[in-house]
Amino acid sequence: MRRRALLSLSALALAGCTAPRSDGIGVPTAASDCPPVGERIVCVPETDPERAPIALTADSRSISLPETVTFTLENGAGRTLSTNFYAWKLWKRVDGDWYRIVLDIWPEPLMTLDHGERHEWVLTAEHDLPADPGRYYDAWLEAGTVSGLGGGEYAFTTDGWFGESTDPQLGFAVLFAVDAPDLTLEPTAKVSDASRDGAVVTVRGDGEGDGDGRAELVVRRVEAAAGADRVIPEQAAHDYRLRNTLPYFEDGVERVRYVERSPGYPAFGVDEPYAIRYEGELYELRAAEPETETATD
């Protein structure tokens, strides 16, 4: 957690036992096959939760969508864990790499989990695409829904630390399998119409506000791009900008313009052009100034 330096907690001594050191819990994250959370990680099933002083578990490690699964972090380490229950994360492994699906933003209160206590997150997982996705996914504390999940291997994670702020950051993870069809992107309900003119598709959406200003997001195919991050469908499902552009790249389409009422400045949250790799193709995204209706290369 980014604010762990704000509070230092003393180790909690239990009568008749010695609390384990932080550097003796889990394994170095770099040596684990689980998501990169913390400096050391306790990951189920790599680690047997019955033998770990603190672990994150799931009431089911194989689900079919839609389904609800409960994740439990239980502290039996004899020390108080400093953490943030809002800062859980959901990941998917694709081609051997882990991709964080959500969260994007979360509140940052400092919370604690004392010895003998547990915290539960109840996740409802769905295959259907989120109806009204934003650019960011907000946290929930105890229960919520994540939509737009395809089949594959997932991980639920959280983190925290014991004792002093200099102690290792600990990651906690549990892997689980999802049985569902592959995910296919579809435009959101914000789209009002779309038209094609040669290699260019123009998509119009219902933006926010009641002014006449318009903003434009231009997505185009490119042959090369330095530093392009791969985006998987489960990530794109939660970004209305990608939902309203990528599905229109049919054969022969080189550029998609998404136009809507000005969503603020910078338009669409894009300060500078950037590139992504999606389904084996490279794309550049850039935003035009409000009041603009004409895209240029």
The pLDDT of residue 289 is: 63
Q: Indicate if 109 and 145 belong to the same structural domain.
A: yes
Angstrom distances, CA of residue 10 to CA of 6, 21, 54, 169: 14, 12, 17, 16
**What is the residue-averaged pLDDT of the chain?**
89
The pLDDT of residue 8 is: 32
Q: Indicate if 34 and 161 belong to the same structural domain.
A: yes
92, 151, 158, 125 alpha-carbon torsion, rounded to 10°: 140
SS (H, E, C) 105-120: ECCCCCEEECCCCEEE
Q: Indicate if 73 and 12 belong to the same structural domain.
A: yes
Q: Indicate if 131 and 228 belong to the same structural domain.
A: no
- For 243-262, write each residue's pLDDT tens digit: 999 999 999 999 999 999 86
- For 18-74, write each residue's pLDDT tens digit: 556 666 899 999 999 999 999 999 999 999 999 999 999 999 999 999 999 999 999
> Given 179, 203, 225, which residue is the final one in a domain?
179
Segment 153-173 mean pLDDT: 92
Q: Indicate if 103 and 123 belong to the same structural domain.
A: yes
Beta strand pairing status for 191-197 and 200-205?
antiparallel
Segment 200-217 mean pLDDT: 81
- For 82-96, write each residue's pLDDT tens digit: 999 999 999 999 999
pLDDT at 155 > cutoff 90: yes
Find the domain containing 196 and state its range. 191-288
Rounded distance, CA 144 to CA 139, Å? Answer: 9
Angstrom distances, CA of residue 192 to CA of 197, 204, 229: 17, 6, 30
The pLDDT of residue 34 is: 98
The pLDDT of residue 295 is: 43
Q: Where are the beta strands (DSSP E) in 135-186?
A: 143-146, 152-162, 170-179
Q: Indicate if 76 and 166 belong to the same structural domain.
A: yes
Q: Indicate if 149 and 272 belong to the same structural domain.
A: no
The pLDDT of residue 263 is: 65
CB 124 within 8 A of CB 148: no
Q: Indicate if 143 and 101 belong to the same structural domain.
A: yes
Residue 184 included in any domain = no
The pLDDT of residue 207 is: 67
Segment 286-290 mean pLDDT: 76
> Given 179, 204, 237, which residue is the final one in a domain?
179
Residue 111 included in any domain = yes
pLDDT at 16 > cutoff 50: no
Residue 186 included in any domain = no
Number of domains in the chain: 2
Q: How confident is the model at residue 117 (pLDDT cuts 50, 70, 90)?
A: very high
Q: Indicate if 83 and 24 belong to the same structural domain.
A: yes
Q: Which of 32-41, 113-122, 207-216, 281-290 has the lowest mean pLDDT?
A: 207-216
Residue 217 included in any domain = yes
> Given 130, 151, 179, which residue is the final one in a domain?
179
The pLDDT of residue 3 is: 35
List Cβ neighbours of 223 (8 Å cut-off, separation of 6 or more): 282
pLDDT at 233 > cutoff 50: yes
